[in-house]
Structure 1
Amino acid sequence: MYGITPQEELPPPTPEIPDLSITIQENEETYGRFVAEPLERGWGVTLGNPIRRSLLNALSGTAITWVRIDGIHHEYSTVKHMREEVVEFLLNVKGIRLRSLADRPGRLRLEVDGEGEVRAGDIMATADFEIVNPEHHLATLDNSGARLSVEFNVEQGVGYEPANHEEGLPIGVLPVDAIFTPVRKANFAVEATRVGQRSDLERLVVEVWTDRTITPLYAMQAAGNLLMERFFLFKRLDKPQDDEEVPGVPGVLPEVFNTLVETLSLSARTLNCLKRAGINRVGEVLMMPKGELLKIRNFGQKSLDELYDKLAEKNYLPEENPEGEGDAETDGEVSEVTGEVEKAGDDAENAGDDSSEA
């Protein structure tokens, strides 16, 4: 018949690709292997790279930031009857892995007397923190009269924060490099896969190694949640800009108010200070007077300037409000004066300690 294509000349039907699925192949205490398939060509790298970067750089954790050893004033000293030097002891302290049971900083203590090996499990337990590697070696005492007394400062943060020796810490406080990230290693691989007659599809394999403070499955879920929060902003690009303003913050749109502080590209120190204070969104920053921000621990004028420079750079600051700005500036000036007075007092105390030691 005219106008009808013979059956043998019709093109073969295109096989339908199944929906993307993720399989948990392994989920142990420190190692996990996850497989996502099938993916169109190119999507393996597109998904694998941001997942890996989020796993390594964006997850929060708990770490020791400084220690105080009784009778020791600097890291180049030695502890009587302890085989390790203080520098080596500090390096061992970096390997202590902590799981935070409360969202706040705290202190831990180590009190050991007598001969023997000192391990992380010898640190006194608290209700806020759990040591997940109690077998970790810290030091060796080689005399029955040996004594080691150490105080540890524990904080929460993101990524890696090197020890800062320029904070004006009191004599005897030894800063330690803080390894906050709970992920030790993350890797992804893209493999070819086949569905029916289609052999141009991909399989994404993600491997995660953690430090036992979180499971690999939880790490993957947290990384995926962080990516979703950021990509959600791209989904709302077509939303009108004349939305209702957020109550209590005149001139701030909901998108700006709910923007995460991680997107401001702040330094690790400034970001960790905000996270420890429970400040996660731009709107929370804008609702706080500058004087209150300066009261956050380790958050000084330099961090405040950096924060507001980033907000201005992204046009997140609300329209000028003379009354609000005046109050904020006044609070900031009062806090600065108070900080200068406290710093002067600390300097005087340090000078007195130095003269007494001399």
Structure 2
Amino acid sequence: MTKLTNFKVEAVSEEGSSGIYSISPLPPGFGTTLGNVLRRILLSSIQGAAITEVRITGVSHQFSTIEGIKEDVVNLILNLKQIRFKLHDENPVVVTLSTKGIKSVTAKDFDANPSAEVMNTDAPIAELTSAKATLELQVLVEPGFGYVQRESNEHPKIGVLPVDSAFSPIMHVADSVEPTRVGEDTNYDKLILRIVTDNSITPREALTQAAQLAVAYFAKISGQSVDLDNLNALVAPIERVEESAVALSKKEASIVVDDLDLPLRTINSLKKFGIHNLGDLVGTPELELMNIRGLGETSIKQIINLVATESWK
């Protein structure tokens, strides 16, 4: 059996709905293995909320038009599908909207509801182009997983329009594996996970839930009993990385980026961003590196590898 390494799960960066997490050191190959499992669970099995049906006053079918409103019903429903909700309990909630006059209607115009919170209030819904135009609608918001086509949401109700529902609160997940060092060995894996949510759940909460679900399934396979109502006990808390784990001497920190083993284009991009020496580079979070103009995925991997292997020594 492969020896379990004493790895850590660390938050490299957390900014709003985006988070970057590292899991290391892992035995060779385990970075890809864990990355695939966590990514698939994050995309398919984290509960969210979405609109499943719409009722619009004066509209009996989706191919209708509404007087005084720029969008037809099809486009209006497409706009409603983009609205993200957070439910504060497990029960479906009806949310209403009623407005009139010349204006741009956004998700902010939904009536306040203590059981449902709109996460992207600036999402557009419709353009009212006449002073006499009115828009009154009700949407049913339900909890669920993944993506459900409207055929599955069909209800035999007159005036009710079923909607394709994207329940997953995860907007983006990317995983990559970088080399890392344990003592003199440099063939260990560091798994980097980048998670973006719709703000109804934090990236940290999403990663924790994914890990808990993975542990529950593997425990069941191994014959262990699992308390599914207390999955929090299965996963250790994520540590916060306050600063780089690489300790630099004063002399090392002053090494100019021109002297590092990096491509000239990468060096120029770093200098334009204000990173002039090794101390600046080591102290820059990966999330900031990703925002530097001229640095692609390959360049960032080269920088991470350089820091991980301390190749300037």
Distance across 2 between alignment mates of 1:196 and 1:188? 25
Aligned to 1:126: 113
Q: CA deviation at 1:29?
A: 1.8
Alignment pair present for 1:87 and 2:74: yes
Alignment of 1:256-335 (within 5 A): none
Instruction: State the distance in 1 between where 2:228 and 2:6 align.
Output: 31
Give, in angstroms, the shift of residue 234 of structure 1.
2.4
Match of 2:204 in 1: 217
Pair 259,19 (structure 1): closer, same or farther in 2 beyond 3 Å: closer
8 A Cα contact 2:95 2:111, kept in partner? yes
Aligned pair in 2 of structure 1 residues 198, 109: CA closer, same or farther (>3 Å)? same
Give RMSD over aligned pairs. 2.1
8 A Cα contact 2:153 2:162, kept in partner: no
2:160 maps to: 173
Alignment-mate amino acid for residue 117 of structure 1: S
**What is residue 30 of structure 1 aligned with on the other side?**
17
Structural mapping, 1:92-107, within 5 Å:
92-107=79-94
Work out the CA distance in 2 between the residues paired with 1:54 and 1:195. 29
2:172 to 185, 195, 198: 185
Distance 1:102 1:58, change over 3 A: same
Q: Which has the higher contact order (CA 8 A, sep 6+)?
A: 2
* TM-score for both structures, normalised by structure 2: 0.69
Higher helix proportion: 1
Equivalent residue number for residue 163 of structure 1: 150
> Paired residue for 1:67?
54
Change (3 A) 1:211 1:143: same
What is the Cα deviation at residue 167 of structure 1?
Answer: 3.5
Distance between the aligned counterparts of 1:109 and 1:140, measured in 2?
Answer: 17
What is the identity, as a one-letter code, of the residue corresponding to 1:68? R
Query: Which residue does the alignment assign to 1:48?
Result: 35
**Cα separation, 2, equivalents of 1:47 and 1:17:** 13
Greater strand proportion: 2
- In the alignment, is the contact (CA less than 8 A) between 2:153 and 2:163 conserved in 1? no
Percent of paired sites with the same residue: 34
Q: For the structure 1 residues 136 and 215, does the alpha-carbon distance in structure 2 shift closer, same or farther, using more than 3 Å as the test?
A: same
Pairwise CA distance, 1:46: 1.2
Taking the aligned partners of 1:117 and 1:91, their CA distance within structure 2 comes to 16
Runs of 4+ in 1 over 6 A off after TM superposition: none
Aligned to 1:304: none
Name the count of aligned residue pairs: 227
1:125 shift after superposition: 0.9
1:58 Cα deviation after fit: 0.4
Which protein has the larger Cα radius of gyration, Structure 1 or Structure 2? 1
Give SS of 1:192's match: strand
Unaligned runs of 5+ in 1: 1-15, 238-253, 261-358
1:200 is aligned to 187
Q: Which residue of 1 aligns with 2:101?
A: 114
